[in-house]
Amino acid sequence: MSTRRLGIIMHGVTGRMGMNQHLIRSIVAIRNQGGVLLANGDRVMPDPILIGRNLEKITALAREHDISRYGDNVEAALANPEDTVFFDAGTTQMRPDLLAQAIRAGKHVYCEKPIATNLNQALEVCRQANAAGIKHGVVQDKLFLPGLRKLDMLRRSGFFGRMLSVRIEFGYWVFEGDLQPIQRPSWNYRSEDGGGMILDMVCHWRYVLDNLFGEVQSVSCLGATHIPKRWDEAGEPYTATADDAAYATFELKGHNGEPVVAQVNSSWTTRVRRDDLVTFHVDGTHGSAVAGLTECVSQPRVATPRPIWNPDEKQKMPFFDQWQQVPDSELYDNGFKIQWEHFIRYVADDQPFGWTLEEGAKGVQLVEAALESSSRRRWIDVPALPL
């Protein structure tokens, strides 16, 4: 059996997500394990070249992880025919142009989301990729979380019966920067720089809802800028122009054709008192379940307790103790790494890959619908993608 090289141009990997999840925990980890195993026993070894605007950072990062190729010239990297994949984890505003350059250069493309800041740009990138005949994909990492994989196993087993509703609670407190240091980039809170909770998270909720609970039909959303003044990386105050919280309700067409209601709260201005930084609570006629990033608990119909409402006494029922842990039935690898392995097999071995640029465009479509809903204070229907 042989080992094939796959040259990958990696752009935007000095940022937190690109560096930790895509470079270190995905590509470096895949290289350390001996590459990606194909169906015929061959292996594919990623050979990355790191590209970024800050050559000093790129050089240090490459040397730290024993990567021999790096630079600050995107055009030169795209001109190398030996590198056939372009990956982008840079800023959303730059992404459509970078993807278009890569597509024109004949590269397969894989990128973070959102794939654009508006639907027209997203659709144009999809059309360019399809016309060029290249392979393409978008990161949809939450589908590969252990907690959601357990939740999906319950769904596929028929555990829920008829699914009724989904409640997603996401977020934590992001420090303003005056009293304690910020833990997210300041551009996240400036709409002119591509920031905002709706743009950042609704594209995630699109693929989670569509794949696990039902296709999104309509949305009612309210965005809010709860903290109007923040402090940047240099300690300088600035006006927050982007929404830092979003409160949304989605109508879904469930997998059995029945309607499902999803309520999703996303906030960088909330203090956590739940099982995890994000929780997915699903109720069905035959059972309920709650998943976090890694764990999932369930409560079947036959084991559902009968709580008693009595406001004159302290609650004695231990609600958290009444749920059964869904066991770890397999080893769960890093979700970003799993999808990278799928994409590499898609490129190198033509294996199925469903998380394409069109799926990324659906996320941008729902972002626009949510923003319109928030602006107009009304429900907005979500039609089929106009490709």
With DSSP H G I counted as helix, E B as strand and the rest as coil, what are the percentages for the chain, rounded to 5?
Answer: 35, 25, 40
pLDDT at 160: 98
The reply to whether 171 and 149 lie within a common domain is: yes
Residues 160 and 279 reside in one and the same domain: yes
Instruction: Give the β-pairing of 108-111 and 136-138.
Output: parallel
Please give the structure tokens belonging to residue 295. Answer: 């764990």
137 and 149 share one domain: no
Give yes or no for a contact between 218 and 225, defined as CB atoms under 8 angstroms apart.
no
The dihedral region occupied by 245, where left means phi > 0, alpha psi between -120 and 50, and beta the remainder, is beta
Specify if 92 maps to a domain. yes
Q: Residue 35 has which token pair?
A: 């590459």
Shared domain for 72 and 169, answered yes or no, is no
Domain count for the chain: 2
Alpha carbons 102 and 119: distance in angstroms, whole number: 20
Residue 136's DSSP bridge partners are 109
Which of helix, strand or coil describes residue 206?
helix
Task: DSSP for 110-154, please give it.
Answer: EE-S-S-SSHHHHHHHHHHHHHHT--EEE--GGGG-HHHHHHHHH
Q: What does the alpha-carbon distance between residue 190 and residue 237 come to, in Å, rounded to a whole number?
A: 12
C-alpha–C-alpha distance, residues 136 and 96, integer Å: 13
| Partners of 109 in beta bridges | 86, 136
Tell me, yes or no, whether 251 and 119 share the same domain: no
Indicate whether 298 and 342 sit together in one domain: no
Q: What CATH number is given to the structural domain containing 122?
A: 3.40.50.720
> 296 with 326: CB under 8 angstroms?
yes
* Burial state string for 119-141 with b = 16 or more CB within 10 A and e = fewer than 16: bebbbbbbebbeebebbbbbbbb
Low-confidence ranges of the chain (pLDDT < 70): none
d(CA 168, CA 298): 16
**What per-residue confidence (pLDDT) applies to 1?**
75
Distance of alpha carbon 178 from the chain centroid: 29
One domain for residues 133 and 203: no
pLDDT at 195: 92
Nearest CA among 257, 263, 217 for reference residue 366: 217
Is residue 67 domain-resident?
A: yes
Give buried/exposed letters for 273-283 (b at 16+ CB in 10 A, else e): eebbebbbbbb
Q: How far apart are CA 371 and CA 112, in angstroms?
A: 21
266 within some domain: yes
Q: Is 239 contained in some domain?
A: yes
Query: What residues make up the domain containing 74?
Result: 3-141+335-355
How far is 53 from 43, CA to CA, in rounded Å? 32
Q: What are phi and psi of 23, to 5 degrees?
A: -80, -65
Token pair in block for residue 299: 């409560």
Where would I find the H helices in 79-118? 95-104
Q: Which two tokens stand for residue 47?
A: 């050979």
CB 206 within 8 A of CB 138: no
Mention every residue, 6+ apart, whose C-beta is less than 8 A from residue 85: 6, 7, 8, 9, 107, 108, 109, 110, 347
Is residue 114 located within the same domain as residue 195?
Answer: no
The model carries a pTM of: 0.94
Q: Do 118 and 224 belong to one domain?
A: no
Angle ∠(383,157,159) on CA atoms, nearest 5:
90
pLDDT of residue 387: 80
344 and 252 in one domain?
Answer: no
**Token output for 82:** 């030996």
Give CA–CA dist 158/383, Å, rounded. Answer: 28
pLDDT score at 256: 87
Give me the residue label for tokens 């470096």: 28
10 and 106 both lie in a single domain: yes
Whether residues 134 and 265 share a domain: the answer is: no
β-bridge partners, 246: 223, 266
